[in-house]
Amino acid sequence: MSFRKQITLSNGAHIPQIGLGTWLSAPKEVENAVEIAVTNGYRHLDLAMIYENQDEVGAALKKVIPSVVKREDLFITSKLWNSAHQPDQVEKELNETLKQLGIEYLDLYLVHWPIAFPPGNGLNPPHLTKAGELAIDTQTTLVETWKAMIALPKSKVR
């Protein structure tokens, strides 16, 4: 529950200090958890592609918007995963997040981790020659990713 305490961000947006995170939520439980949280006053949801449960969050959002809360009264955060750091992948991943959630925009979109994985081989691509390690994209810089993030349409992320 936010208890109406908020922080003002540099762009003037207000983010509730307390939110519901969905990391490590058991399958088939996160939809119910989000619905209960929003019904009981939570207004900030912390999500990410890597949590692999945004579809369930989207199902909950369909239940609570607009019957419990207006979309503009929620603050929804999600995160760009490492396998989509390449500039041509950033907006595609945002679009997939919006599709999974069934909403038109995010309030905040963050870089989850400041390291790029090569795209096209799942969320955690295995290293080609080192067993048990992940592949790293050494060509894509965080600056390139950030430039793509700040170029995203304001209609999709505020």
Report H helices in the chain.
Answer: 30-39, 54-64, 87-101, 142-150
Sequence-ordered list of residues with C-beta below 8 angstroms from that of 59, at least 6 positions apart, any chain: 31, 102
At 53, which amino acid appears? N
Residue 51 annotated among the catalytic residues of the structure:
yes
What is the rounded distance in angstroms from the CA atom of residue 71 to the CA atom of residue 74?
5
Taking the C-alpha atoms of residue 83 and residue 93, their distance in angstroms, rounded to an integer, is 9
Residue entry with tokens 């939570």: 42
Contact 30, 60 (CB under 8 A): yes
DSSP 8-class letter at 106: B
Q: From the candidates 42, 51, 105, 109, which is the catalytic residue?
A: 51
Q: Which residues are catalytic?
A: 51
